[in-house]
Amino acid sequence: MMRRILSIDGGGIRGVFPAGFLAALEENLPQPIGSYFDLISGTSTGGIIAIGLAMGLSAKDILALYEDRGPEIFEQEEAGRKGFFRKVRRNVRGNLFGPKYLPDKLREALQDTLGDRRIGDAKTRLMIPAWHPQTRKVYIYKTAHHPRFETDYRDAAIDAAMATAAAPTYFPQHVTEHDVGLVDGGIWANNPVGYAVAEAIGTLGWQRDGLKVLSISCLEDIFSTEGQYSKASIALQATKFFMAGQSYGSLGLAHILTGDPHENRSIYRVCQPVPDGFFSLDNTARIRELKDRAFVEAREKKPILKPVFFAEQAEPFSPHHELKD
């Protein structure tokens, strides 16, 4: 039996790319694109997209969230002199006092999108990585797709979204309704594809030769190791090396677990290379360009992906534990 997995990387406002890519694929489908997958996983901005899709929202509506609310979330809705001074203030706040942005606008946007939904309202199995800094342990929000998952399905969807998106230096730690402090799952799983495949095989017991995995990045920066750098730029490059290595490690795990490409074709990775620094995680001025790239990529990939992932909807998800009215 074939099972289909959707995995979406983290990347701040660059989430416009996977949201736009999925919205373009969804255009000619009779149902929201999330209903064609048996398991959806996403980290950080990818986690927000994953939660929305699992709740039954269309990719088009999620893309609109980025387009309509992105500038206010990253405090860039104003241009000219006033916008310049707000940018200076943000940078000073980030350099001297901690996180660059306040979480209020992000919470408002997510509240308007997700409302009072709980993880247990998901129509598709869901897996959202976060990190618990106090104990230095992984913290993964999951639907009740296994009998032992008796807790998370009661949690607010907005808590999972805020937690996985609480990227250090950009947003403060998110404190949930249960007073649990969490930060961005990108700390350890910015590309969650390997862990999603491990969940499918190890927890759900799905056969590896029956898995089809669509893994979507938020673009890949191509950077050089040559030249002289300041201490600040060296630190930035080291972070990028770490994130790239983490992503390739997760992708490699997915390949090993599925036997791709030596035994079968299982992993379909969408990852556009871009010049280093051209698309930052918080520059909303490039939203249109990100959307442009996404729609062109979808146009090219649709003939390949449609027969594999979108010939029919996934079987309905029946959780082991359900919310009570």
Active site residues: 44, 184
Strands 220-222 and 273-275: parallel
Neighbour count for residue 246 (Cβ, 10 Å): 17
Q: Which residues contact 19 (CB under 8 A, 6 or more apart)?
A: 49, 59, 62, 63, 65, 66, 294
Are 200 and 124 in contact by the 8 Å Cβ rule? The answer is no
Specify burial of residue 319 (Cβ count, 10 A radius: 0-12, 13-18, 19+): middle
Strands 211-216 and 3-8: parallel
Q: Which residue type, as a one-letter code, is found at position 175?
A: V
Are 195 and 40 in contact by the 8 Å Cβ rule? The answer is no
Are 238 and 231 in contact by the 8 Å Cβ rule? The answer is no
C-alpha to C-alpha distances, 44 to 86, 169, 210, nearest whole angstrom: 25, 14, 28
Q: Which residue type, as a one-letter code, is found at position 74?
A: F
Are 124 and 178 in contact by the 8 Å Cβ rule? The answer is no
Taking Cα atoms as reference points, which of 196, 65, 58, 183 lies closest to residue 125? 196
d(CA 113, CA 261): 38
Are 6 and 287 in contact by the 8 Å Cβ rule? The answer is no
Q: Side-chain half-sphere of 283: how many Cα atoms within 13 Å?
A: 9
